[in-house]
C-alpha cells in the first residue's frame, strides 16, 4: 500500500512538472513569436510584405539596411541621441529617486508625511496635462530642440521614488543606518557605501524600467526636438511611417524597429544577472 501511494505521488509530481513545462513553453512561444515576425519582416522587401506574411526569411535584409542607412534620416545619430537620453535619464532617475526615498524613510521630521503624500499626488498627474507648461518653460530657458529637457527632469520620478521607498520599508533595517551614524559616517557616505549595495536589486529593476521607458518615449521628444540630427529613434521611426507613398518602405521600418530593440535586450541581459545574484545571495544569507 505504501509503495503504491509513493508511486502515485511520484506520478502526480511528474505530471505537475510536465504541465508546468508545457505552460511555460506555451507562454514563451507567445512572447517570442512577435519578435520572430519582426525579424522575418525585416528580411523582406516592401513588395513582398504587401503579398502577406510568410514564416520563411527572405533575402532583402542587407538591402533594407542599406536603404535605411543611406536614406535621408540620420539613423546613426538617432541611435546616439537615444542612448545619451536613455542612459542619462535612467542613472539620474534611479540615483536621486532612491536618495529621496532614503531621506524620507530614514529621517523623522515635521511634514514628512505631507511631503510623501504630495509626491504620490504628483504621480497621479498625466504627463500630457503638464506638457504645455513644460514646453513654455524650456522655451524661456532657451533649451528647446536640445536633449537636456529629456534628461534632467528624470531626477524627479515619483513612480521610482514610491517603489524604492516601499522596498526600503521592507528590506532596509534602520539599525544599520543608526550604527553608521554612531560610527561617525556622514549621510552621503552612508547612502553611497552602505545603503546603495543593500538596495541593488531594486535599483537594477528600476534602472531597466527607466531605460526602457526613456528609450521608447515618443511624446516628449516629438514636442521638443525639431532638427533631424537631434531627434531620437522613436521620432525617426514615426517619420519613416509618415512618409508619403512614394518613399514609404515597410522594409526600412521593420529593420529599424528590429535594430532599436537590441539595446533594450542587451541592457536587460546585462542587468538581470545582478537581480538574480543579489536575491540569491540574500536568500543564502537569510
**Judgement on whether residues 136 and 38 belong to the same structural domain of the protein:** no
Angle between helices 233-241 and 75-106 (to 10 degrees): 130
2 vs 20, more confident: 20
Residue 246 lies in a domain: no
230 vs 53, more confident: 230
**Judgement on whether residues 30 and 109 belong to the same structural domain of the protein:** no
Q: Cell 516628449, residue?
A: 220
Assign 89 a pLDDT band (cuts: 50, 70, 90).
very high
**Judgement on whether residues 149 and 219 belong to the same structural domain of the protein:** yes
Residue-level pLDDT at 26: 92
Residue 209 lies in a domain: yes
pLDDT over 50 at 29, yes or no: yes
**Buried/exposed code over 29-65 (b: 16+ C-beta within 10 A; e: otherwise):** eeeeeeeeeeebbbbbbbebbeeeeeeeebebbebbb
Assign 90 a pLDDT band (cuts: 50, 70, 90).
very high
**Judgement on whether residues 35 and 142 belong to the same structural domain of the protein:** no
Distances (CA, A) of 249 to 47, 76, 235: 9, 18, 16
**Judgement on whether residues 35 and 129 belong to the same structural domain of the protein:** no
Question: 147-188: per-residue pLDDT in tens?
Answer: 999 999 888 888 888 888 888 888 777 788 788 888 887 878
Residue 282 lies in a domain: no
**Judgement on whether residues 133 and 45 belong to the same structural domain of the protein:** no
Residue 272 lies in a domain: no
Question: 207-257: per-residue pLDDT in tens?
Answer: 888 998 899 888 889 889 988 899 999 998 888 876 656 567 788 888 888
pLDDT over 50 at 92, yes or no: yes
Residue 157 lies in a domain: yes
Residue 219 lies in a domain: yes
- Provide the CA 182 distance to its chain's centre, in angstroms: 38
Assign 124 a pLDDT band (cuts: 50, 70, 90).
confident
Assign 285 a pLDDT band (cuts: 50, 70, 90).
very low
**Judgement on whether residues 226 and 125 belong to the same structural domain of the protein:** yes
**Judgement on whether residues 77 and 179 belong to the same structural domain of the protein:** yes
How many domains in the chain? 2
Residue 255 lies in a domain: no
Which domain-ending residue is among 206, 226, 241? 241
DSSP character string of 161-174:
HHHHHHHHHHH--H
Of 90, 93, 89, 98, the closest CA to residue 192 belongs to: 98
Sequence-ordered alpha helix ranges (H) in the chain: 2-42, 46-49, 61-69, 75-106, 112-123, 131-140, 148-151, 158-171, 174-182, 187-189, 196-198, 200-215, 219-224, 233-241, 250-285
- Provide the CA 122 distance to its chain's centre, in angstroms: 21
Q: Sign of torsion, CA 216 258 35 48? A: positive
With a CB cutoff of 8 Å and minimum separation 6, the contacts of 241 are: 248, 253
Q: Interior CA angle at 151 toward 256 and 237, to 5°?
A: 15
- Whether 94 and 205 have beta carbons less than 8 Å apart is answered as no
| Tally of CA atoms within 13 A in the half-sphere of 85 that contains its CB | 27
Structural domain that includes position 43: 2-59
Residue-level pLDDT at 88: 93
**Judgement on whether residues 78 and 121 belong to the same structural domain of the protein:** yes
Q: CATH number, domain at 226?
A: 1.10.3720.10
pLDDT over 60 at 277, yes or no: no
Residue-level pLDDT at 246: 59
219 vs 14, more confident: 219
**Judgement on whether residues 47 and 107 belong to the same structural domain of the protein:** no
Question: 71-82: per-residue pLDDT in tens?
Answer: 778 888 989 999
Residue-level pLDDT at 75: 86
**Judgement on whether residues 43 and 170 belong to the same structural domain of the protein:** no
Residue 64 lies in a domain: no
Mean pLDDT over the full length of the chain = 82
Q: What is the pTM (predicted TM-score) of this model?
A: 0.80
Assign 122 a pLDDT band (cuts: 50, 70, 90).
confident
- Secondary structure (H, E, C), 115-153: HHHHHHHHHCCCCCCCHHHHHHHHHHCCCCCCCHHHHHH
**Judgement on whether residues 125 and 212 belong to the same structural domain of the protein:** yes
Q: Dig out the grid coordinates for 46 from the structure.
A: 516592401
Amino acid at each position: 500500500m505504501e509503495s503504491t501511494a509513493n508511486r502515485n505521488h511520484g506520478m502526480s509530481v511528474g505530471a505537475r512538472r510536465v504541465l508546468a513545462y508545457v505552460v511555460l513553453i506555451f507562454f514563451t512561444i507567445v512572447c517570442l513569436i512577435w519578435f520572430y515576425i519582426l525579424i522575418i519582416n525585416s528580411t523582406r522587401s516592401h513588395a513582398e510584405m504587401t503579398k502577406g506574411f510568410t514564416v520563411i526569411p527572405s533575402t532583402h535584409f542587407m538591402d533594407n539596411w542599406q536603404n535605411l542607412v543611406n536614406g535621408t534620416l540620420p539613423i546613426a545619430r538617432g541611435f546616439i541621441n537615444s542612448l545619451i537620453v536613455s542612459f542619462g535619464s535612467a542613472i539620474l532617475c534611479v540615483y536621486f529617486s532612491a536618495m529621496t526615498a532614503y531621506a524620507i524613510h530614514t529621517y523623522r521630521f515635521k511634514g514628512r508625511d505631507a511631503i510623501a503624500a504630495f509626491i504620490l499626488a504628483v504621480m497621479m498627474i498625466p504627463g500630457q496635462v503638464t506638457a504645455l507648461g513644460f514646453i513654455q518653460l524650456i522655451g524661456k530657458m532657451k533649451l528647446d530642440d536640445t536633449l537636456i529637457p529629456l534628461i534632467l527632469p528624470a531626477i524627479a520620478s515619483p513612480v521610482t521614488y514610491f517603489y524604492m521607498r516601499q522596498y526600503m520599508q521592507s528590506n532596509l533595517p534602520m539599525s544599520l543606518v543608526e550604527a553608521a551614524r554612531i560610527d561617525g559616517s556622514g549621510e552621503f557616505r552612508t547612502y553611497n557605501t552602505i545603503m546603495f549595495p543593500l538596495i541593488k536589486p531594486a535599483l537594477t529593476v528600476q534602472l531597466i524600467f527607466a531605460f526602457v521607458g526613456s528609450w521608447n518615449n515618443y511624446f516628449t521628444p516629438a514636442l521638443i526636438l525639431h532638427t533631424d540630427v537631434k531627434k531620437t529613434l522613436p521620432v525617426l521611426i514615426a517619420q519613416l511611417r509618415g512618409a508619403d507613398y512614394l518613399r514609404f518602405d515597410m522594409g526600412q521600418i521593420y529593420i529599424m524597429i528590429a535594430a532599436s530593440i537590441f539595446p533594450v535586450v542587451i541592457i536587460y541581459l546585462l542587468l538581470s544577472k545582478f537581480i538574480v545574484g543579489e536575491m540569491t545571495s540574500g536568500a543564502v544569507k537569510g
